[in-house]
Chains A and B, each alone.
Chain A
Amino acid sequence: MPLELKNVVKKVGADTHIYDTSVELVENQFNILLGTTLAGKTTLMQLMAGLETPTSGEVWFAGKNVTGVPVQKRNVSFVHQQFINYPHFNVYENIASPLRVAKISKKEIEERVGHVADLLKLTPMLGRKPSELSGGQQQRTALARALVKDADLVLLDEPLANLDYKLREELRDELPKLFQDRDCTVVYATTEPTEALLLGGNTATVHEGRITQFGNTSEVYRKPSDLLTAEVFSDPPINAAEVELASGQFSLNGQVNWPSASTKLANGSYKMAIRPHYVTLEQNSEKALKLEGRVLVAELSGSESVVHFEVEGHPWVSQSPGIHAIEVGQAIDFYLDTTQCLYFDDNDKLIAE
């Protein structure tokens, strides 16, 4: 039985940090909390762990109401963004620390620490102090401390955010494997949509103290239930524009027209959203429509070109493969893959794709 939040609200003084939230995590899988800094991811995790008690609402775990049960009485482990280890213990003692508090026999501690150290490639470092380790090794030690406990609930709060690019990639690949054969529910907070997609599992998009959607990661990505979710789950930011539907044709700014795929929609105005990588510099499909824009900012991201441009005063973002020489202020044609558009109604709910 997994962890469940039932109508949880968290207020601190006059501020509401978490608005009425109900969510049921998926057992033995990765549950990702995706949202910007200060969206409330950490507060949600602290509520799940029992480090904080909800102002109202209940926290259930394994079929039991655990609201108000302090964290040390639950079998929970937590890995922070900062590398948190006991500064004057060596790696072995650090990993062993949760077991020592639990008064487990010396022989078993040795076995379990050895096993986890092996998994996390820390065996040669066991005698070192945290200050003698690299950032990646320090975070591996913190992860090892979380793993060695065999916790039912493992909370990882942006564990890779303070690592450099290479180490982040490496550890991100290993993480799902580490938890594969364990009976534990993992909650993973991240600010990066790409990271959520790479980790898979399930994703809850968090925005200003609310979970906007929770479901299978690729499902949430492909069919965001509302515009906000689409915005949270997009990097670079998703493009949104007003479109008019009349006699089966959408039109943007009265210039660009394309047929509606759905016959159910009534005539009127809608919000359309399209991810930047469907707005490209080259015409990738015949259906892609031309959009004339003026370049505001052009930048390279890896081997991709990200171009911010404006069309009739509205900002757009395009993301295309390859490196292109583009100058600011240049008038340029972009191609819109209209088959990838998402349509939202007045309340920002998804109504067609």
Chain B
Amino acid sequence: MDNRRSNKKAWFFVLPVVALVAFNAIIPLMTVVNYSVQETFGNNVFFWEGVKWFEQVLNSDRFHDSLGRQLIFTGIILSIEVPLGVAIALTMPRKGVWVSVCLVFMAMPLLIPWNVVGAMWNIFALPDIGLLGYALNSIGFDYDYTQQPLSAWFTTILMDVWHWTSLVVLLAYAGLRSIPDAYYQAAKIDGAGAWAVFRHIQLPKMKRVLTIAILLRFMDSFMIYTEPFVLTGGGPGNSTTFLSIDLVKVALGQFDLGPAAAMSLIYFLIVLLVSWVFYTLMMKNEGQ
């Protein structure tokens, strides 16, 4: 029996979503695709260039350098923020009045806008008048983020850890809270120690939220722009010129729209690919 009727009006219901996705994603993306295969000198005159810009970007040392910096930065960020976030979540109280206090404190950095974070640390870390910079220098560290690449990296990483570890904490804490007490009792009855409880109950039970946390932190840190831009503008030299800073320099600084478009597409594909591979691997054997 086939009771289905063709109902053309149903299309109207999906129209808003189609429109949203079109304006939000497809049209801007196609514009970029359009630029990436053509050359323009303004006046709306375009010349077909094929994959020339892609070849140029992929072969340029400049792109390799910023991609390399980006990968190292994201790697460091993830390897600090994820374990630290989990560790903090584990030490947070499970019930009582302190829960809300902890949660409010944890949420605070997340409420501060990116450029404010950059500006705050910019001043906080100044070697002559900033509290952090002055303190570091006075205890004997030669620290100046405006001059030394290492100091700039240290500040950028510290700033990101300060800003975003909370997100991992909140997600991990939510994961921990969802574990019924009965699991802990069962572990106690088995005589399992704290490490075994973490390894065999808490970690597997947090797997889903941690996957999301890592994905979010990967994507966000891979696209980091505002904070290093406000802090040092990508310097000293090119030392904190990450992919998106580089991209903006190419597109708006030099107005090379073709290479910039090709670079954005490559950038986009890297984020997409890494996220997809990671998610697929983590969710394998997960059942429903």
Contact = CB atoms under 8 A, between A and B. Distances in A.
B48 interface: no
Q: How large is the interface on A (under 10, 10 to 19, 20 to 34, 35 or more residues)?
A: 20 to 34
Contacts of B189: 49, 51, 71-72, 76-78, 98
Contact of B200 (A46, A49, A88, A132): A88
A82 B178 CA distance: 13
B205 interface: yes
Contacts of A87: 201, 204-205
Contact of B191 (A51, A78, A102, A131): A102
Interface in B167-211: 180, 182-183, 185-186, 188-192, 196, 200-201, 204-205
A88 B287 contact: no
B180 A82 contact: yes
Contacts of B183: 84
A89 B201 CA distance: 10
A71 B188 contact: yes
Interface in B245-288: 285-288
- From A49, A71, A82, A86, name the one whose CB has the most chain B CB atoms within 10 angstroms: A86
Nearest to B288: A131
Contacts of B285: 129
B188 A131 contact: no
B204 A86 contact: yes
Contact of B287 (A46, A70, A102, A131): A131
Contacts of B188: 51, 70-72
A101 interface: yes
Contacts of B191: 72, 98, 101-102
A86 B185 contact: no
Nearest to A100: B190
A97 interface: yes
A98 B189 CA distance: 8
Contacts of B205: 87
Q: How large is the interface on B (under 10, 10 to 19, 20 to 34, 35 or more residues)?
A: 10 to 19
Contacts of B287: 129, 131-132
A81 B287 CA distance: 22
- From A72, A102, A129, name the one whose CB has the most chain B CB atoms within 10 angstroms: A72
- From A84, A102, A132, name the one whose CB has the most chain B CB atoms within 10 angstroms: A84
A38 to B, nearest CB: 15
Contacts of A84: 180, 182-183, 186
Contact of A86 (B180, B182, B201, B288): B201
Contacts of A70: 188
B190 A51 contact: no
B190 A80 contact: no
Interface in A56-104: 70-72, 76-78, 80-82, 84, 86-89, 97-98, 101-102
Contacts of B286: 131
A97 B190 contact: yes
A89 B183 CA distance: 14
A72 B185 CA distance: 10
Given A129-B285, A131-B287, A78 B185 contact: yes
B257 to A, nearest CB: 50
A51 B191 CA distance: 12
Given A97-B190, A98-B190, A80 B288 contact: no
Nearest to B196: A101
Interface string A184-211: 0000000000000000000000000000
Given A87-B204, A101-B196, 20 more contacts: A49-B189, A51-B185, A51-B188, A71-B185, A72-B189, A77-B189, A78-B185, A78-B186, A78-B189, A80-B185, A81-B182, A82-B182, A87-B201, A88-B200, A97-B190, A101-B190, A101-B191, A101-B192, A129-B285, A132-B287
7 contacts: A71-B185, A71-B188, A72-B188, A78-B189, A80-B186, A82-B182, A86-B204
